[in-house]
Amino acid sequence: QLQLQESGPRLVKPSESLSLTCSVSGDSISNSRYYWGWIRQSPGKGLDWIGTIYYNGITYYDPSLERRLTISIDTSKNQFSLDLRSVTAADTGVYYCARCPATICFFDSWGQGTRVTVSS
Amino acid sequence: DIVMTQSPDSLAVSLGERATIDCKSSQSLLDSSNNKNYLAWYQQKAGQPPRLLIYWASTRESGVPDRFSGSGSGTDFTLTISSLQAEDVAVYYCQQYYNTPRLTFGGGTTVELK
C-alpha cells in the first residue's frame, strides 16, 4: 500500500525559504515507472502543479516558480523534497506530494497535504 | 500552457439525480497516434486530498463506483455522476496530461445536494 507523507514547517516568514519533504513508503522512489510531484492549493482555490522529479534527478518546474524552486530526490531515504525561496503571502496554501506514471502524469496517489502559512 | 476551463462553477443536485460537469481544453488532448485523450478527473472532499477517479478521459480508476463516467474527446469532456449519492458531495477537477510534464488543472466544480 503506497503512502506519501509531507513534512515541514507550518509557518514561514516572508522572504525566507519554504522547505518540505515527502516520505514515501510502499514503493521505491527509484522505480523508473513513476514521477514524483508537488501540487499546491491556495486557500479556497483550485489545484496548481508546482513541479515534478524523476528517480534520476531530472526535474520539471512550473515556469512561474522556476526561479525560486528546487525539487530534489534522496533515493537512500526514499524521499523527495521541495525548496521554495523568497516566499510571499501568495505562497500560502496546502502542499501535496503525489505520484504519477512517468510521461503520462495523472496523479494516482496523494499525500494528505500539509498547510503552510507565510506570515511574519 | 494548455488552459482547462470547467463549467459550471457549482451545481446542486438531488439525491439519485444525474450530475454533469464539463471541462474544455484550449487545445486538443487527443493523441492521434494512440487515439487516447490525455485527460483525468479527480474528486476532492472537504479536508481531504484529491482522489483520482478517471484517466484517459473515460477509464475508471480501480475502486471507483460505476456511477462515475467520463466521456468526450479532443477539447470537450464531461464527467457524469449517474445517480448522486450523499458521499459524492465534493469538488471535482479535470487535469490535462497531454503536455506532460507541464500539467494544468481546471478551476474545479463544486457538487452540492439540493
In the block, which residue shows the cell 503506497?
Answer: A2
Cβ of residue B74 closer than 8 Å to a chain A Cβ: no
Contact A103 B106 (CB under 8 A): no
In this complex, do B93 and A46 lie within 8 Å of one another by their Cβ atoms? yes
**Measured distance CA(B39)–CA(B29) in Å, rounded:** 7
What are φ and ψ of residue B4, in 5° steps?
-110, 125
Q: What stretches of chain A adopt beta strand conformation (E)? A: 3-7, 11-12, 18-25, 34-41, 47-54, 59-61, 69-74, 79-84, 93-101, 109-110, 114-118
Report percent pLDDT > 90 for chain A.
98
Q: Which residue has the cell 476532492?
A: B44
User: For A48-72, what is the mean pLDDT?
Assistant: 97
| Residue A29: half-sphere exposure toward Cβ, Cα within 13 Å | 26
Say if residues B97 and A104 touch (Cβ distance below 8 Å): yes
Please tell me the predicted confidence (pLDDT) of residue B33.
96
Identify the residue among B103, B105, B109 best suited for mutation to test binding to A, counting A beta carbons within 10 A and taking the highest. B103
Q: How far apart are CA B53 and CA B70, in angstroms?
A: 9
Please say if the pLDDT value at position A70 is more than 90: yes
Mutate to test the interface with A, among B29, B100, B110 (most CBs of A within 10 A): B100
For residue range A80-106, what is the model confidence (pLDDT) as tens digits? 999 999 999 999 999 999 999 998 999
Contacts of A96 in chain B (CB under 8 A): 49-50
User: Mean pLDDT of all residues in chain B?
Assistant: 97
- What's the alpha-carbon Rg for chain A, to the nearest Å? 13
The DSSP call for residue A91 is G
A46 neighbourhood in chain B, CB within 8 Å: 93, 105-108
Specify whether the CB–CB gap between A52 and A105 falls below 8 A: yes
Tell me: pLDDT of A9 over 90.
yes
Using alpha carbons, list the distances in angstroms from residue A86 to A9, A37, B67, B76.
15, 21, 45, 39
Q: Per-residue pLDDT for B19 more than 90? A: yes
CB-nearest to A107 from B52, B102, B106 is B52
pLDDT digits (tens, 9 = 90+) for B69-92: 999 999 999 999 999 999 999 999
Judged against a pLDDT cut of 90, whether residue A44 lies above it is answered with: no
State yes or no: pLDDT of B42 exceeds 90. Answer: yes
